[in-house]
Chain A
Amino acid sequence: MSFLRRRKLFIFLIGFIVLVALIGYSLRDRTNLTIAEQFIHDTVGFAQKIVHTPVNFITEIFTNIDDLRDTYTENQVLKEKLAEYKGLIYEVQGLKEENEELREIADLKESDLLRNFTPIQATVMSRSPERWIEQVTINKGNDDGVAENMAVITPDGMIGKVLTTSPSTAKVQLLSGFDQFNRISASVSREDGSEIVGMIEEYDQDSGSLLFRIIEESEKDLEEGELVFSSGLGGVFPSGLPIGEVKEVVPDQYGLTRTALVEPAADMYDINQVIVVDRAMKNESDTEVSEEEAE
């Protein structure tokens, strides 16, 4: 009996060591998943694709009923906006032509612009049931051109970045799960040309907003309601992706810089269709790597 009890303790301790080893392995800064993990992701992803369709159908019926109630007021607002947009279209067309001419003069290619990207449409299939891990799975992977660190957006704004990929699925880390290792170079652009540049540092759980640290100390104060965009200077995301709206500006703990609390523009909980953003201009280090690989 005492032997049996000792054996149980032994197994428990071995289990504990295995646990620590596994956690240590997975918390390392891994860029690639092992083949076994990719295989599991794709197998479960396949089953999720089958399950997702009926579940989505049911949830959509309920949201449709909800939507019907607001249709009239929404329609009214949309009509007003449509009138505004008609004016905008002419303006945009003129600007586009002008832009193209200027670019020809300056001899720039399409891929030289920080703003340009190739969109990859994807559907969200599942969300991590573990609420401390803010991840969703999308139905596009390596084979469709999705790669790590690509930005993921909805029409409202940015929702996150691609964390890992396998051949036919990919994991997306949501903005609400960003920590200090996932920073976004962002800026607030104004009409008079004075930009405020800064970094989105992390997501603050308590206030439910992103912390936007303003790097340069400018005389002009950031105001509530101003829009924050990605600046593209971080070398990973293209510029001009809407991130959120300034909710409040607070001094940091030393009183030297200011931090703006930014409310994400996109809804992190009701995501269905997303666009994976493949930046047209590649990073210099990336091209070097691919050149090395080509050799």
Chain B
Amino acid sequence: MKRLYLPLILFLFLVLEGVALDLLPGRLLTGDLLIVPHWVLIFLVFITIFYENERTYYSFIYALVFGLLIDVVYTGILGVYMFSYAFAIYIVHLLNKLVHANIHVSILLGVVAVVLSDISINVIYLVAGVNDMIWQDYFMTRLLPTLISNLVFLVILYPLFVKRLTTWGQEQLSGNNTL
């Protein structure tokens, strides 16, 4: 049963992303700022930092699967989120070997993941012709607000999940679960 927790939580965040914009006040939406929730990615960063050991790649596989789900459900252009999330999580996985797990590192790696994936998404959409935003505008109106709002989400999520993820990770390491 425990092996289902992570996919279920990720699926819940995937569903919640769809109503996330309803929760924000309307003034933010009609304005120039583009805030994109990357909640699935934030939780994947937590999994990478606290759940995994050095030899496992669960978060990478989850990034592929749930990135593809986001593509299918919300954008209709397959592969964009899948590639970007997987790429960002892979880099986070590499960086995670160099540092200790705590709140500062989580914020730092969260910044890395959100910036990398969002820029990657932007580049792909730019090439595919979905958007035609100038880079300067992109940094000010999309990347910065997106980054800040997702970091707020990360800080809220941190006390809720860190201990649980660590215990689940240790149980998994001790060989009780073969997920």
> Which of B17, B37, B73, B83 lies in contact with A19, CB distance below 8 A?
B83
* Structural contact, B86 and A130, CB atoms closer than 8 A: no
> Which of A15, A37, A55, A269 lies in contact with B83, CB distance below 8 A?
A15
Answer whether A131 and B73 are a contact pair too, CB < 8 Å, given A47-B11, A269-B26, A270-B26. no
B36 at the interface (CB under 8 A from A): yes
A241-280: CB near B (< 8 Å → 1, else 0) gives 0000000000000000000000000000110000000000
Cβ of A106 to closest chain B Cβ, rounded Å:
44
> Which of B17, B22, B76, B80 lies in contact with A163, CB distance below 8 A?
B76
Interface residue count on the B side (C-beta < 8 Å): 41
* Structural contact, A23 and B18, CB atoms closer than 8 A: no
Q: Which residues of A contact B80 (CB under 8 A)?
A: 19, 23
Main secondary structure of the interface of A (DSSP, over half): helix
Q: Which residues of A contact B34 (CB under 8 A)?
A: 131-132
> Which of A48, A130, A269 lies in contact with B19, CB distance below 8 A?
A48
* Structural contact, A26 and B76, CB atoms closer than 8 A: yes
* Structural contact, B23 and A55, CB atoms closer than 8 A: yes
* Structural contact, A129 and B74, CB atoms closer than 8 A: yes
> Which of B19, B69, B72 lies in contact with A126, CB distance below 8 A?
B19
B154 at the interface (CB under 8 A from A): no
Chain A CB within 10 Å — which of B18, B29, B79 has the most?
Answer: B18
* Structural contact, A129 and B72, CB atoms closer than 8 A: no
A127 at the interface (CB under 8 A from B): yes
A108 at the interface (CB under 8 A from B): no
* Structural contact, B128 and A44, CB atoms closer than 8 A: no
Answer whether A131 and B142 are a contact pair too, CB < 8 Å, given A18-B79, A126-B19. yes
B15-29: CB near A (< 8 Å → 1, else 0) gives 111111111001001
B160 at the interface (CB under 8 A from A): no
* Structural contact, B15 and A47, CB atoms closer than 8 A: yes
Answer whether A128 and B19 are a contact pair too, CB < 8 Å, given A15-B83, A15-B86, A19-B83. no
B30 at the interface (CB under 8 A from A): yes
Inter-chain CA distance A51–B22, complex, in Å, is 12
Q: Which residues of B contact A56 (CB under 8 A)?
A: 22
Q: Which residues of A contact B22 (CB under 8 A)?
A: 55-56, 59, 127
> Which of A40, A127, A171 lies in contact with B21, CB distance below 8 A?
A127
* Structural contact, B75 and A130, CB atoms closer than 8 A: yes
> Which of A44, A47, A58, A133 lies in contact with B76, CB distance below 8 A?
A133
> Which of B74, B79, B128 lies in contact with A130, CB distance below 8 A?
B74
* Structural contact, A23 and B128, CB atoms closer than 8 A: yes
Q: Which residues of B contact A23 (CB under 8 A)?
A: 77-80, 124, 128
Cβ of B8 to closest chain A Cβ, rounded Å:
10
Chain B CB within 10 Å — which of A22, A40, A163 has the most?
Answer: A22
A34-75: CB near B (< 8 Å → 1, else 0) gives 000100110010011001100110110000000000000000
* Structural contact, A51 and B19, CB atoms closer than 8 A: yes
Cβ of B117 to closest chain A Cβ, rounded Å:
12
Enumerate A207-266 residues with CB–CB distance to B below 8 Å: none
A89 at the interface (CB under 8 A from B): no
Chain B CB within 10 Å — which of A47, A132, A137 has the most?
Answer: A132
Cβ of B111 to closest chain A Cβ, rounded Å:
19
Inter-chain CA distance A129–B72, complex, in Å, is 13
Enumerate A110-137 residues with CB–CB distance to B below 8 Å: 125-133, 135, 137
* Structural contact, A131 and B35, CB atoms closer than 8 A: yes
Inter-chain CA distance A137–B75, complex, in Å, is 11
Q: Which residues of B contact A59 (CB under 8 A)?
A: 22-23
A164 at the interface (CB under 8 A from B): yes
B14 at the interface (CB under 8 A from A): yes
B131 at the interface (CB under 8 A from A): yes
Inter-chain CA distance A131–B72, complex, in Å, is 15
A-B contact pairs, 9 of them (CB 8 A): A21-B79, A22-B79, A51-B19, A59-B22, A127-B21, A129-B74, A131-B35, A133-B75, A164-B76
- By a beta-carbon cutoff of 8 Å, the part of chain B in contact with chain A is 11-12, 14-23, 26, 29-30, 34-37, 69-80, 82-83, 86, 121, 124-125, 128, 130-131, 142
